[in-house]
Structure formats: C-alpha cells, structure tokens
C-alpha cells in the first residue's frame, strides 16, 4: 500500500530525532494524513505479512467494551500482554514492575470502556457496567441509521479524568463517522503513532470497523482517513523499516473483507469476518517499545 510506504519514506527522509517515554528514541514528524478509498480493497499491508485474526480480535474486544486482558490472551491475542492498570501494577522498566504488569489482568478503562461506558465510574475488569455511562458507539449506530447526514457521529476514547487508571492513555483517541454519496467514511485521530508496528494495525482495525458500520447501516464503504500526530519510527526499527520500504507495494493486490451471518455490530465476533485473497511478502519482526 503506497500511502503507508510514503509515510515511512517521509519520516526516514525528513524526521527529527526525539527522546521518548520508553527510552528507545525515535525519528519523528509532527502531523501526517493517511488516506485510503475502501472501494479499492481492504488496506491490509502486503509489504509484510499481517496477522488479521489478532487485529480483528482486538477490535471485538473494543466493541464489547471489555477490559480483561485474559479475554485476549485466551484467544491468542497478545497485543496487551505487557500492559496493566497502573493503579494495580505501576508502570516501570525494572524486572519487578514488568512482572507485575504481565501478571495483572485488569487494563483499566481503556478504549472499549470509553466507547461503550463513557463517564461511568471504573472499578475492575469483572464488574457489570451494563447501562452505565454514555454508549458512544450505540449513539453513532443510531444516528448512522436515522440521521446519516449528522456531523456529530464522534466517538472519543480520550478521558483525562481516568487516565491514571488506564494501562495506556489512548494513542488513537477519537474517530468520526460521516456519510457521503451513500457511503460510510471513517476519520480517526491519533496522538502517537508507532509507524512500523502500530500504524498497520490501526489502519486495518479502523478499516474493519468501517466495514462493519457499513453493513450495520446498509450503506457502502467510502474513505478511511487518519489524522496522525507525533508520527515516528523507533530507532530500533530503522533498518527493518528500510527493508520494508525496498519491497514492491504493487506486487500483490489488496485483499477484500467478507463478513457472514451479520446481524449487528454488537453481536459480531472476529471469526465472522474473513480476509479474502490476501497475499504478502514475509513477516518483518519489529520489537515493541514498552
């Protein structure tokens, strides 16, 4: 996907060195826009092999409003393994704190909790939050069906009042839905962008969400746009970034999404959606910076 590789190239050519929270160091650019037309296919990168099942599983976790890390682990999704509610397992790089973070299953009121229960008091991963807080995702679905021209279909994961309880304050902190020409568009905002490891996941995840909202509303699939803030490449990713950039983005055509037995986005499970015709170059391993 050329739009993604253009971002990588821009950072390598124009990025400025910065220190960061993890201590790894980055090459960074302030402010980039990612754009993709969903009618051209599903934007799952072909210049490295991407784990579609893991991406879809994390999205299901968000849609359901869950905060229990074990739910993900039980489904072989390990994106959040190193993170935990900092009030229960304080963040730290030392081995003691790393072990506590791995063992603590509560992630705190992260993305999905804010999507589905914004403003509700948070206690623990196993509390019943049914009917508590404001269900932003339900609000978007209702308006998408009844008032598709509405310009207030916004979901925010950014809630500074409870940031101290979150395993990680949201990197992709808000998204907006609009409808043009009977097609659903999704525009997301991201404050911090791990270009080599995180951004390909973000692109694919929001593309699946757009696909599901289109099915929910009976509309077509339109534009996917990301407004990217601190867009960076970690220094320990630089050589492999160059390797990925050397690969031909036109060698493999984009895949397509196929969702069967769809009844509602709220009943959707990751295994209901398949990626069809996906071919790619081999995987490139990028170490996560915690």
Instruction: Identify the active-site residue in 171, 245, 284, 290.
Output: 171
Inter-CA distances, 4 with 56, 199, 204, 229, 245, Å: 20, 9, 12, 15, 10
21 annotated binding-site participant: yes
Q: Is 192 known as a binding-site position?
A: yes
Residue 283, token pair as written in the block: 């995987």
| Residues in a beta bridge with 56 | none
275 assigned ligand-binding residue? no
Consult the annotation and say whether 289 binds a ligand.
Answer: yes
75 annotated as ligand-binding? no
State yes or no: 191 annotated in a binding site. yes
The angle formed by the CA atoms of residues 118, 217 and 79, to the nearest 5 degrees, is 50
89 is in an annotated binding site: no
Q: Where are the alpha helices (DSSP H) in the chain?
A: 2-14, 52-63, 69-73, 95-103, 111-117, 136-146, 198-217, 238-245
Q: How far is CA 214 from CA 32, 92, 160, 202, 210, in A?
A: 26, 41, 31, 18, 6
Does 171 qualify as catalytic in the annotation?
A: yes
Cβ atoms of residues 194 and 232 within 8 Å: yes
- 240 marked as part of a ligand binding site: no
| Torsion angles phi and psi, residue 219, rounded to 5 | -100, 170
CA–CA dist 243, 191 (Å, integer) = 26
Q: Is 223 annotated as a binding residue?
A: no
* Residues 202/165, Cβ–Cβ less than 8 Å: no
Query: Would you tell me how many other CB atoms lie within 10 Å of the CB of residue 10?
Result: 14
- The answer to the question of whether 202 is labelled as a binding residue is yes
Compute CA distances 106 → 86, 99, 157, whole Å: 9, 14, 17
CB 61 within 8 A of CB 112: yes
Which residues have a catalytic role annotated? Answer: 171
- Known binding positions for dUMP: 21, 151-152, 191-194, 202, 232-234
- Known binding positions: 21, 151-152, 191-194, 202, 232-234, 289
């Amino acid at each position: 996907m050329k739009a993604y590789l253009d971002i990588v190239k821009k950072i390598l050519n124009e990025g400025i060195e910065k220190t960061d929270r993890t201590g790894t160091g980055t090459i960074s650019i302030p402010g980039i826009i990612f754009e993709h037309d969903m009618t051209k296919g599903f934007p799952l990168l072909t210049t490295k092999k991407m784990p579609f099942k893991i991406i879809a599983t994390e999205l299901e976790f968000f849609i359901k409003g869950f905060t229990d890390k074990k739910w993900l682990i039980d489904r072989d999704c390990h994106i959040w393994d190193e993170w935990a509610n900092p009030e229960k397992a304080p963040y730290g790089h030392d081995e003691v704190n790393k072990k506590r973070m791995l063992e603590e299953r509560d992630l705190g009121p992260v993305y999905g909790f804010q999507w589905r229960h914004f403003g509700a008091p948070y206690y623990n991963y196993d509390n019943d939050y049914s009917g508590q807080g404001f269900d932003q995702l339900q609000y978007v679905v209702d308006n998408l069906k009844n008032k598709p021209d509405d310009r207030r279909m916004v979901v925010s994961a950014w809630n500074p009042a409870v940031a101290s309880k979150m395993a990680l304050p949201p990197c992709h902190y808000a998204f907006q839905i609009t409808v043009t020409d009977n097609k659903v568009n999704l525009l997301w905002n991201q404050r911090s962008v791990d270009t080599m490891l995180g951004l390909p996941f973000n692109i694919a995840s929001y593309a699946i969400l757009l696909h599901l909202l289109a099915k929910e509303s009976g509309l077509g699939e339109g534009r996917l746009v990301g407004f990217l803030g601190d867009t960076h490449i970690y220094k320990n990713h630089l050589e492999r970034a160059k390797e990925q950039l050397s690969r031909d983005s036109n060698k493999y055509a984009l895949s397509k999404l196929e969702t069967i037995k769809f009844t509602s986005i709220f009943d959707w499970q990751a295994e209901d959606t398949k990626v069809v015709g996906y071919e790619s170059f081999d995987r490139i391993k990028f170490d996560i910076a915690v």
